[in-house]
């Protein structure tokens, strides 16, 4: 079964900080020598840009482009997620993050390994492809910004070669669900915004309404 998105995110962030520390410049450290991920020196700059792009690229390699897009859009709204910026700069910060996420997805599709991904992103940084300043005039042209989301949102993490949804992720419970588990939970009333439909002779979970224009579950 797939790795949980938040676990993979944490793993990818640690990796990219080590790579940045080794290949670009020394990053602030904790007393035990580990990189201080809470330092203000890691936000709204080249480190921030590479972190977002690298995590998005890793998501793309693990889950595919569409899931990486959904996770990138929802990150600020996950339980415990928050902006490091003032309200005045939130829109600029979000634009920067979404732009860099898109660059990460682009190179995630072109990379066979994480090492290759980082090298491509490092070149993208040096070529000016990433946004490293919230006042950069370039604008992300994807879907409009989202302000909130309902509870109980589930996304598809894994499909079969024929397009059958196999593995799901509950963003609030931070829980992986097999198709069988999700079907059983829907039938028992655990997910009132989802229903079971017969598609191709198989019981298939779908959302009752498309709550977001980037929803990947119907």
List strands edge to edge, sheet with 165-170.
Answer: 154-159, 165-170, 175-178
| pLDDT for 79 | 43
Q: What is the per-residue pLDDT across 41-53, written as a single tens digit (0 to 9) for each? A: 999 999 999 999 9
Q: Do 34 and 109 share a structural domain?
A: yes
Looking at 83, 109, 126, which one is the last position of a domain? 126
80 pLDDT exceeds 50?
Answer: no
**Are the CB atoms for 168 and 177 separated by under 8 Å?**
yes
Q: Do 105 and 172 share a structural domain?
A: no
Q: What is the per-residue pLDDT across 89-111, written as a single tens digit (0 to 9) for each? A: 888 998 999 999 999 999 999 99
**Are the CB atoms for 56 and 105 separated by under 8 Å?**
yes
For the chain, the average pLDDT equals 88
Q: What is the per-residue pLDDT across 134-172, written as a single tens digit (0 to 9) for each? A: 999 999 998 655 656 666 789 899 888 888 899 999 988
Domain that holds residue 82: 5-126
Euclidean distance between CA atoms 212 and 207, whole angstroms = 11
Q: Do 165 and 117 share a structural domain?
A: no
**Are the CB atoms for 96 and 46 separated by under 8 Å?**
no
| pLDDT for 142 | 82
Q: Do 112 and 32 share a structural domain?
A: yes
| pLDDT for 81 | 43
Looking at 108, 126, 144, which one is the last position of a domain? 126
| pLDDT for 89 | 83
pLDDT greater at residue 130 or residue 159: 130
Number of domains in the chain: 2
Q: Do 99 and 175 share a structural domain?
A: no
Please check whether residue 183 lies inside any domain of the structure. yes
pTM: predicted TM-score of the whole model, two decimal places? 0.85
73 pLDDT exceeds 70?
Answer: yes
Q: Do 16 and 119 share a structural domain?
A: yes
State the distance between the two ends of the chain, measured CA to CA, in whole angstroms.
Answer: 22
Looking at 82, 106, 126, which one is the last position of a domain? 126
Distances (CA, A) of 185 to 95, 168, 192: 36, 12, 10
């Amino acid at each position: 079964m797939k790795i949980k998105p938040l676990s993979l995110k944490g793993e990818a962030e640690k990796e990219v900080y080590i790579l940045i520390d080794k290949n670009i410049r020394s990053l602030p450290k904790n007393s035990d020598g580990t990189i201080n991920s809470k330092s203000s020196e890691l936000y709204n700059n080249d480190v921030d840009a590479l972190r977002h792009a690298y995590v998005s690229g890793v998501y793309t390699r693990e889950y595919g482009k569409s899931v990486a897009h959904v996770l990138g859009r929802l990150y600020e709204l996950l339980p415990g997620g928050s902006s490091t910026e003032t309200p005045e700069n939130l829109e600029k910060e979000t634009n920067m993050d979404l732009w860099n996420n898109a660059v990460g997805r682009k190179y995630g599709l072109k990379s066979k390994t994480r090492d290759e991904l980082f090298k491509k992103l490092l070149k993208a940084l040096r070529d000016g492809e990433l946004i490293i300043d919230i006042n950069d005039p370039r604008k992300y042209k994807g879907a409009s910004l989202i302000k909130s989301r309902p509870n109980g949102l589930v996304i598809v993490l894994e499909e079969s070669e024929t397009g059958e949804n196999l593995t799901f992720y509950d963003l609030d419970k931070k829980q992986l669900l097999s198709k069988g588990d999700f079907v059983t939970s829907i039938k028992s009333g655990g997910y009132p915004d989802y229903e079971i439909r017969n598609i191709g002779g198989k019981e298939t979970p779908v959302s009752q309404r498309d709550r977001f224009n980037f929803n990947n579950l119907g």
